[in-house]
Amino acid sequence: MASQVPNLVSRAWAKGLFDGTVVFCTGGNGTICSAQVRALVYLGANACIVGRNVEKTKNMAAEIAKVRPGSQVLGIGNVDVRNIATLEAAVEECIGRLKTIDFVIAGAAGNFLAPIEGLSSNAFKSVVDIDLLGSYNTVKSTMPHLLSSAARAKNTGQPTGGRIIFISATFHYTGMPYQAHVASAKAGVDALSATVALEYGPRGVTSNVISPGGIEGTEGLQRLSSQALRESGQASRSVPLGRYGTLQEVADATVFLFSDTGSYVTGHVLVVDGGAWRLAGLAGHSSGLTYPEAVLGGQALPRDIETGRRPKAQL
């Protein structure tokens, strides 16, 4: 693990940047959120990640802790973000053991490809509940502690605190075939973040969104794109910068928003996708399909992606 540490964040960030702070993260055992937390821990923070799968969450917490000797990283399983009571219990355990929550990442999400004709009401609701209701429950359960952290940062000169980041997407900017459920949920997440920024900004809390595009090595890319398309290199044609992103680049965006560099940034949506959203709206950008053939039934969904299944919470 030590050999991987230099790849966690850019060299622009100083070690010890987040000394004495704590990050609470839903979705912390997923590939993107775990990379965000790993970077913060490497730079001095302690952390609490939560998820539904007990073993997976504990194992990921143990792996994250290896990036910095002496770090404390809690992994709390059996937490469903759709159930605020389980989140509140996890928050209390985090406070009991780590004493504070200075930063929050609301990253629990579910996704899969499905046309509206093949998407049940229950499947639609499940994604909206995980992504949007889960984000709202995260705000409700952690905000008292973010307010306390923001007040401490203002009154004592401690490292920055009182900040929340929501993990969103770009599908709703233009619309995207087979993503009605996720686009609807993420549009709500963006609106929620903006409202949090307005209501809690006067009390020192910042609220922002990070919207990753296709990121190499993530569960999301595997669920939304064909393996053959990824291996062919053709996907880079749909990204102005000519490649998929890296986990480090999402982590850098996170550090920017949580550190002093983000102190005057709130209510913002930071897209980390190489400019791909500017070319969005066609099914082929992710799955290797072409429009309108895909929606008219002239093309079958690729067989080498995870699609058309019941959503599983990536907590």
Which residues, 6 or more positions from 87, have their beta carbon under 8 angstroms from its beta carbon?
Answer: 26, 50, 79, 81, 137, 138, 141
Question: Is the pLDDT assigned to residue 287 strictly greater than 60?
Answer: no
pTM of the model: 0.88
Question: How much of the chain, in percent, has pLDDT values that exceed 90?
Answer: 67
Taking only the tens place, the pLDDT of each residue in 84-110 is 999 999 999 999 999 999 999 999 998
Q: Which CB contacts under 8 angstroms, 24+ apart, belong to 227-231?
A: 227/304, 227/305, 228/288, 228/302, 228/304, 229/287, 229/288, 229/302
DSSP H helical ranges for the chain: 31-42, 54-65, 84-98, 121-128, 134-156, 171-174, 180-200, 219-224, 227-232, 247-258, 284-287
Q: What pLDDT is recorded for position 235?
A: 64
Question: pLDDT of 217-264, one tens digit each?
Answer: 776 555 555 555 556 566 667 788 988 899 999 999 999 999 999 999
If pLDDT is split at 50, 70 and 90, which confidence band does 285 have? very low
pLDDT value at position 6? 55
More confident residue, 2 or 67: 67
Helix (H) or strand (E) holding 166: strand 163-167
**Phi, psi at 163, each rounded to 5°:** -130, 140
* CATH class of residue range 14-225+237-273: alpha beta
Cα–Cα distance for residue pair 50/71, rounded to 1 Å:
17
CB 128 within 8 A of CB 121: no
Active site residues: 168, 186
